[in-house]
A and B are shown apart, each in its own frame.
Chain A
Amino acid sequence: MRIAVLSIILLLLAVVSLFVGVADITVADIISWDIEKISLISISRIPRTAALILAGVGMSISGVIMQQMTQNKFVSPTTAGTLEAAKMGLLIFFIFTPNAGMTLKMLSAFLFTFFASMIFLAIVRKIKHRNVVFVPLVGLMFGGIIGSVSTFFAVQLNIVQDSNAWMMGDFSGILQGRYELIYLTLPAILITYFYANKFTVIGMGEEFSKNLGLNYNSIMNIGLFCVSLTVSSVVITAGAIPFLGLIIPNVVSLIFGDNLKKTLPLIALSGAVFLLICDILGRVVIYPYEVPIGVTVSVFGSIIFLFLLIWRKR
């Protein structure tokens, strides 16, 4: 029921998203098969909308997996150094093999996010008293360290502006032929969906998982793989989208609980809906110019996050 409602909202927003933009395209143009406008839709608008939906679904699901793995509601790609690691991967790629093509770029970002997340998990395991706020704080510091190393090299090589631009979440540059890597989030999303119960059990802790006969370490590794694949492919195609992985799972959890079998579709759909709304707003607010989505998401995200902090405290 809720899923159906959310799906309809998502569909409507997707249609709106297809028709919002500088070039004025109407339904009549499509019906009359205006070649120029049809090709604009297929080269720019459809890729953009598809990328938005995939990024929204992918980032919010990554968030919830990370929260299950660390048993902490405030951990997400933004608060665990994951985004900074992806950035470092891009930087290393840029320094050593700038012309080696997308596959290597992707691999570099993926490997860095994967190992950084592994280190973060190891640190979290070492922390004995896991205070709710302490873990994301450690994550932010960890991200800060990675970020400062990246910045150091970027300064040395005079590419600070470039490297900052990579990380600015922005869907306006998405065109057919340059965004397809984002489809790599699909396998990660599917795995999460089919392993929903296992990821819920992981969230109950290692001893609980062992008692239920779950192979804790292998599911942790699968989670790491899914998160790294999603985050790195989203960062490469659209840049960093902050807060999404934090607020969407938290809001859904507050209202519908933590049984992923039940809530995962809601998290995925809400993530896509939220991102589409932010993108449409960013496109119309200073029309015909655009506010990068990173900005709109941060504005709404940080407000919602503040409310969450107060709400969760109760």
Chain B
Amino acid sequence: MIEVQEITKQYGDKVVLDRVGMQFNKGKITSLIGGNGAGKSTLLSVISRLLSQDGGVVLVDEKNVTEYKSKMLAQRLSILKQSNHVRLKLTVRELVSFGRFPYSQEKLTKEDNKMVDRAIDFLNLKEIEHSYLDELSGGQKQRAYMAMVVAQDTEYILLDEPLNNLDMKHSVQTMKIMRKLADELGKTIIIVLHDINFASHYSDYIVALKNGKIIYHDTTENIIREDVLKDVFDINIKICEFDSKRICNYF
């Protein structure tokens, strides 16, 4: 389980995270929502040790992340950021193979290759596994990166705005893969989302941040409510039910 306690982070005078504390549920998808500058991505970066906090602790399986060897932590927790553009000319398979780096460093074992194959199948990349990344479309690239995360085979998967720059089809595809990862492989997924409807449709829990504080943390149906969302986003949002899923209309 991932637990954060009293996390604070400031840039100069600006407090980005203000004593944030919570626990993320295992085997579920938790979406972080909130306006720009609410602190969602910062929180994700702190949890994944890409950014060091000014105060508070992050616990992964009851152990402080700073006490992990970085290799061991990389076998438990992975993060995919939108800004992680790899400029190297690698094939899809080579990129996915680097997901096994935390386990085997310089030489892949048979076991590693099996995991790479599985990840490639999981994301339907078999046909393009030998294509170079720079020849792929945005959607295919995103799938290649996710395959790398799948190959890394971590209990916890963190994603920072994975739907940015993706069209509707690929956004839906991405979220369905997340669902599959949680439901079939039992992964714990924490994901920063901007589109409230994607959060509503695909997540089990939603965490709402505002001004560096967690103001709501609950199951999806308890968050996707007109009064709650008005409080989070400061705009009026109408909610209608469709096929037992709630759709938000804020236009």
Contacts and interface: CB of A to CB of B under 8 A. Distances in A.
B84 A257 contact: no
A13 B132 CA distance: 33
Nearest to B74: A213
Determine which residue in A205, A213, A259 has the highest number of CB atoms from chain B within 10 A of its CB, and name it: A213
Q: Classify chain A's interface size.
A: 20 to 34
Contacts of B72: 213
B101 A214 contact: yes
Contacts of B87: 71, 203
Nearest to B100: A212
A211 interface: yes
A201 interface: yes
A283 interface: no
B49 A204 contact: no
Interface string B65-97: 000011111110011110110111111001000
Q: Classify chain B's interface size.
A: 20 to 34
Contacts of A208: 84, 86
A259 B75 contact: no
B150 to A, nearest CB: 14
A231 B106 CA distance: 26
B101 A194 contact: no
A205 B86 contact: yes
B50 A210 contact: yes
B17 to A, nearest CB: 18
A213 B132 contact: no
A200 interface: yes
A261 to B, nearest CB: 8
B98 A201 contact: yes
A253 interface: yes
Given A198-B105, A213-B75, A204 B84 contact: yes
B105 A257 contact: no
Interface of B is mostly: mixed
A197 interface: yes
B89 A258 contact: yes
A148 to B, nearest CB: 32
A2 B75 CA distance: 35
Contacts of B99: 212
A86 B6 CA distance: 50
B147 to A, nearest CB: 14
A215 interface: yes
B106 A212 contact: no
Interface in A182-218: 194-198, 200-201, 203-205, 207-208, 210-215
Contacts of B89: 253-254, 257-258
A200 B88 contact: yes
B132 A197 contact: no
A198 B69 CA distance: 17
Nearest to A213: B74
Contact of B90 (A196, A198, A205, A257): A257
A213 B91 CA distance: 21
A201 B72 CA distance: 17
Contact of A211 (B69, B74, B88, B91): B74
Determine which residue in B71, B79, B87, B88 has the highest number of CB atoms from chain A within 10 A of its CB, and name it: B88
B132 A211 contact: no
A257 B94 contact: yes
19 contacts: A194-B106, A201-B98, A203-B88, A204-B86, A205-B86, A207-B83, A207-B84, A211-B74, A211-B78, A211-B79, A212-B74, A212-B99, A212-B101, A212-B152, A213-B70, A213-B102, A215-B70, A257-B91, A259-B90
Interface of B: 48-50, 69-75, 78-81, 83-84, 86-91, 94, 98-99, 101-102, 105-106, 132, 152
Interface of A: 71, 194-198, 200-201, 203-205, 207-208, 210-215, 253-254, 257-259, 261
Given A200-B88, A204-B88, 11 more contacts: A71-B87, A198-B106, A203-B87, A204-B84, A210-B50, A211-B74, A213-B70, A213-B101, A215-B70, A253-B89, A257-B90
Give the 7 A-B residue pairs with the shortest CB-CB distance, closest first: A213-B74, A258-B88, A213-B71, A213-B102, A257-B89, A213-B70, A212-B101
